[in-house]
Amino acid sequence: MGALLAGCASQSNSVYHQLGGNEKVEQIVENFVVEIERDPVILAYFEGADINRFVEKLSEQICSRTGGPCSYTGDTMAQVHGGMNITEADFNRTVDLLINAMNKADVPHRLQNKVLRALAPTRDEMLYL
Ligand code: HEM
């Protein structure tokens, strides 16, 4: 019981909790897919990708990296993106799409920055591998 309460206390400060939990993460990810579909440069990378799996795994990843109660069950960022030859410009372009997705989900800018900070370590796992 004590451990359970402690777990709840730490989660209530998490970026995940500040976002509003799973519902908001799903909104962000759904908006992100729409943004990707509208961007021919980034969409090209997704040819042949399984979008349902992408939605599920990316939601898990955002949840777990922002301190939410999820475990990430997908492949590592290096395994997934390593062979794609993602340029720094295209990485930044994708981050812009994520920002658009968060704007459309009414995520306040300060909170957007916290989400981006939580995902930032993935950058070095996928560029120039
Ligand atoms: C902002 C940082 C990023 C994060 C956190 C991220 C996260 C993910 C995750 C969790 C998956 C699913 C992994 C799995 O299926 O096991 C995925 C798949 C994918 N990502 Fe990313 N990604 C990022 C940036 C990018 C960029 C910059 C590109 C390309 C420009 C990209 C292209 C893809 C593609 C094409 C797939 C689908 C692969 C497939 O199903 O064959 N991602 N990403």
Question: What pLDDT digit, counting tens, does each position of 2-53 carry?
Answer: 455 445 444 679 999 999 999 999 999 999 999 999 999 999 999 999 999 9
Residue nearest atom 8 in ligand 1 by C-alpha distance: 58
- pLDDT score recorded for residue 2: 44
- What is the domain partition of the chain in residue ranges? 2-126
CATH superfamily name and code, 2-126: Globins (1.10.490.10)
User: Is residue 81 a known part of a binding site?
Assistant: yes
The mean pLDDT of the chain is 91
CA–CA separation, 40 and 43 (whole Å): 5
**57 Cα–ligand 1 center, Å:** 9
Q: Are 55 and 22 in contact (CB under 8 A)?
A: no
Q: Is 88 in the pocket of ligand 1 (CB under 6 A)?
A: no
Q: Which residue has the higher pLDDT, 126 or 47?
A: 47
